[in-house]
Structure 1
Amino acid sequence: MIEANIERLWEQLMAFIEEGRVIPVIGPELLMLDIDGKPALLYDYLAEQLAKRLGIKSEADDTLNTVACRYLAQGGQREDMYPVLKRALAELSQVKPPETLVKLAEIRPLKLFVTTCFDPYLVRTLNQVRYRGKDSTQVLEFYPGSGKDLPEEMEYLAGTTVFHLFGKLTAAPDYAVTDEDILEFMHALQSADTRPKLLFDALVGQGLMIIGCQLFDWLGRFFVRLGNRHRLIISKEKTDFLVGDQIRKEINLAEFLLHFSSRTKIFPMQSIEFVNELYQRWTAMHPAGVDDGEHFDTAARALPVDKAEPVELVAEPDAREPMRGGAVFLSYAHEDEEAVIAIKHALETAGIEVWFDRNTNALRVGDNFKARIKTNIEQCALFVPIISRHTLTQERRFFRFEWKYAQECADFYPESRRFIMPLAIDDTPPDDPNLDEYIRELHWERLQNGQCGAAFLTELKQLQRAYRRNSE
């Protein structure tokens, strides 16, 4: 039965998103593209292209599954279809991203996305909206026998992660195209030996926002059950939200959920309509994200599938924004900002959560500002001063206030605890007299050929994880 009190549903969902307690599960109904001047759902277009390129008769309501079945019935080989689909998607490289994905990417508390689709649009959109076009979103995929899983528990994931539940695009048959593929994926996902344990720990511990997934009757029942630790009839731990054009048609599924899964709520809306309203409600609650004029403009920009354009999209965090406890604090001279942004992306790609202030181009005054910086340093897991020739200046600079306060905080830790980890980005000598004595005495890391060393990244990640575990 479809939930009648829609406003109550919205209040619940928005509160859960605000608290970071929701994992969106994305399906093909959200992928509306403008192809050759006409709106088309991506997977309907791919079904048409697959039939055309395999020489199979195309019909109006074809899906990838029906085309595949027709091809196999005529003696075709299953392996033929996957490279064809890869080529068809590559030809859409200049098509703008689905507006629905852009709007979901703008909702920053959503950091782990699960998708039942194999295309790269979700990952590309997140990179463009959140990382200025850099390939910084962590991408994982499951397929039978792969053993793929999250690298760590959800609460320790830094940055944004996308998990392809039914495989991702490749020339090999490692993603789901047919109903038989989906059956095998579902079988493997339920196996104690092959299921991605950390992913499912996240799915059963968080509310699921399942949008646009074509869950036909029994597939829908199995899918909802995967996201619950106990039998649906007794599960009271969390609330899941279902939205979809197909789901609204599944009367038997709705009846089943009504009687056996009262914590699963169905929004009486179409998938794209739902995302539009979700975005409208979120931006009304968080108007600063819209008023700064730097959010993603879907009418003006195209997002290539194979190569993201590195354009300025969103403002980086500054001292006005709260820092999540346990982040790595980067402190630097403003002349080194470009290098520090590259370091930030390298750390986030390695799964390390980072905070830094992009507005350090002057010595700023004011007790409120200094108090916020102090609080962030006190709450960070590690403090990383970025050392370069620019930090040797004898001018009054705010980064020195940060460095001195970090040294005060370090006094409260035992000597065995690494808190300040200097990173040199050029050949600045460690004995330069313009650096404070305590900085000169610390062990420095240096960029290797302009890159952060693997050992350094591993140590940062381990120390951040240990800090957060101890804080719990």
Structure 2
Amino acid sequence: MSSPFPLRPAVATLDDEAWEDLLNFIEERRVIPIIGPELLQVETESGQRLLYDWVAEKLAARLNVDTGALPHPYTLNDVVCWFLASRGRREEAYTRVRSIFRDANFAPPLALRQLAQITDFDLFVTTTFDPLLEQAINLERFQGAQSAEVIAYAPNRVVDLPSEREKLQRPVVYHLLGRLSASPTYVISEEDMLEFICALQSEHLTPERLFHELEHNHLLLIGSSFTNWLARLFLRMAKRHRLSDPRDVGEVLADNHSDKDARLLNFLQQVSVRTRVYNGAEEFVDELHRRWMTRHKPGEVVPLGVPQRFLPPEREMPDNAVFISYAREDLAAVQKLKAGLDAAGVKTWFDLDRLEGGDDYDRKIQRYIARCSYFVPVVSATTQRRLEGYFRREWSYAIDRARNIAEGALFILPVCIDDTNVAAAHVPDKFKALNFTRLPDGEVSPEFARRLQDFLSARHG
């Protein structure tokens, strides 16, 4: 049905005032970027291409799809639909996609690296299933360490944000349409998209914390492949109210197609007046990055590849790491301890998220203590006060391992971060027989750093 209202010319850019407002909201952490496939320009054997166009070509070859029968240019959805119509097994398509990515080795595109550099972004939502966004964040913020939290939604396995946004300990990448797997748990076809969208609208299948954030924050839909009705539906789903209702937050659609969709533009201009359209996904990211960098003083900007002072530990403990055991109230001192040891080239790990529950978690901690290079229990007024706590179980696991270590060979290196009397401390007798190192507030002394360096060199060469 045509609109009785005349279509106003589309404004495909933002003026300086709009950019200024956006940067202010970003600095206040009131903006969530939602990443789409148009940002995934990768270098292939035939030059730069959009990642999912390349995947469609590779998948067609592996599934023996007759590409002559497909529309040109064909999409991943076209390949999957032809394969299923030819009585192919649905599960096989996902397995083949997983194999294609396993054999590929793409560097994160510049646009994703630029977004990762905007350190005011702490929650990223992606509508793609590939790992390039989390790789970009880990590369730019953590020197490649696997430190970003990665969460994936699937209708049969609803996973929400681990906590309220202000309590997140590390940047989060949320795969709203599933994450790469050998199982059919992510979107590669329009039918998959329909199933995910229906599930996300279901009361019992909605990740509530995530959608609370989407509702109450400004959204940047960058490089989305959503067209017309799907874009309208996604906006309505994210905002949870009629789009014509007054709201304090807005959205930007920055992609390569929305400004050419007259019906979508007409709808947005009449109904969703807080939604702006910007022509060009990569162009939007480039301009946003330039303005954000310009606004920050050089000393406040994290250059490409340069780590922050404190780098959160990786999600999984790396090989030959030093395991730090602590009470959660001492987190600030432990962060300083890790930063000091990082600066000395000593690889460390501690459990930043402090899940403290479940058999799987406990087995993981036991496994890490069994293979760490050294174990550093942090003793403090907190550990004196807390006569129960998971850190005491970690201490017990370390003592169990020490029983199998030769007499005189060091494994446990206790540290005290305040003026606690270690002789009267509530610690195992095994600890009291060892030499405690005092590191007030977690400040690493040159002597302690050199000591650990020497120990690690002697053990691992």
Q: What TM-score does the superposition give when structure 2 sets the normalisation length?
A: 0.70
Structure 2 residues without counterparts, runs of 5 or longer = 1-7, 312-329, 357-374, 399-410, 432-461
Matched pairs, number = 366
The alpha-carbon distance between structure 1 residues 32 and 287, as it changes in their structure 2 partners (threshold 3 A), is farther
1:211 to 222, 237, 249: 222
Q: What does residue range 88-167 of structure 1 map to in structure 2 within 5 Å?
A: 88-93=100-105, 95-167=106-178
The alpha-carbon distance between structure 1 residues 150 and 75, as it changes in their structure 2 partners (threshold 3 A), is same
- The equivalent residue for 1:46 is 55
Q: Distance in 2 between the 1:222 and 1:341 partners?
A: 50
- The reply on whether 1:25 has 2:34 as its aligned counterpart is yes
What letter is aligned with 1:277? E
Residue 237 of structure 1 deviates from its aligned partner by 2.7
Does structure 1 conserve the Cα–Cα contact (< 8 Å) formed by 2:341 and 2:347? Answer: no
2:95 to 80, 83, 90: 83
Question: Any idea what the Cα deviations from partners look like across 1:409-434, whole Å, max 9, x if unmatched?
Answer: x9xxxx7899xx9999964578x9x9
What letter is aligned with 1:68? V
- The reply on whether 1:72 has 2:84 as its aligned counterpart is yes
What letter is aligned with 2:290? Q
Structure 1 residues without counterparts, runs of 5 or longer = 297-312, 319-325, 353-386, 392-402, 449-472
Q: What does residue range 21-420 of structure 1 map to in structure 2 within 5 Å?
A: 21-36=30-45, 38-58=47-67, 60-93=72-105, 95-267=106-278, 269-288=279-298, 294-296=303-305, 313-317=306-310, 328-330=332-334, 331-332=336-337, 336-337=341-342, 342-343=347-348, 346-348=350-352
In structure 2, the residue corresponding to 1:114 is in which secondary structure? strand
Does structure 2 conserve the Cα–Cα contact (< 8 Å) formed by 1:283 and 1:290? Answer: no
Q: Distance in 1 between the 2:339 and 2:208 partners?
A: 43
Q: What TM-score does the superposition give when structure 1 sets the normalisation length?
A: 0.68
The alpha-carbon distance between structure 1 residues 332 and 26, as it changes in their structure 2 partners (threshold 3 A), is closer
- The equivalent residue for 1:16 is 25
Residue 341 of structure 1 deviates from its aligned partner by 7.0
Does structure 2 conserve the Cα–Cα contact (< 8 Å) formed by 1:149 and 1:198? Answer: yes
Q: Distance in 1 between the 2:119 and 2:425 partners?
A: 36
Does structure 1 conserve the Cα–Cα contact (< 8 Å) formed by 2:26 and 2:120? Answer: yes
Does structure 2 conserve the Cα–Cα contact (< 8 Å) formed by 1:159 and 1:351? Answer: no
Does structure 2 conserve the Cα–Cα contact (< 8 Å) formed by 1:157 and 1:351? Answer: no
Does structure 2 conserve the Cα–Cα contact (< 8 Å) formed by 1:136 and 1:348? Answer: no
Q: Distance in 1 between the 2:123 and 2:14 partners?
A: 28
In structure 2, the residue corresponding to 1:328 is in which secondary structure? helix
4+ residue segments displaced more than 3 Å: 1-5, 289-292, 331-343, 345-352, 415-418, 421-430, 434-446
In structure 2, the residue corresponding to 1:258 is in which secondary structure? helix
Residue 57 of structure 1 deviates from its aligned partner by 2.7
Residue 37 of structure 1 deviates from its aligned partner by 5.6
Residue 438 of structure 1 deviates from its aligned partner by 4.6
Residue 348 of structure 1 deviates from its aligned partner by 3.7
Does structure 2 conserve the Cα–Cα contact (< 8 Å) formed by 1:136 and 1:349? Answer: no
Q: Distance in 2 between the 1:21 and 1:180 partners?
A: 33
Residue 315 of structure 1 deviates from its aligned partner by 3.6
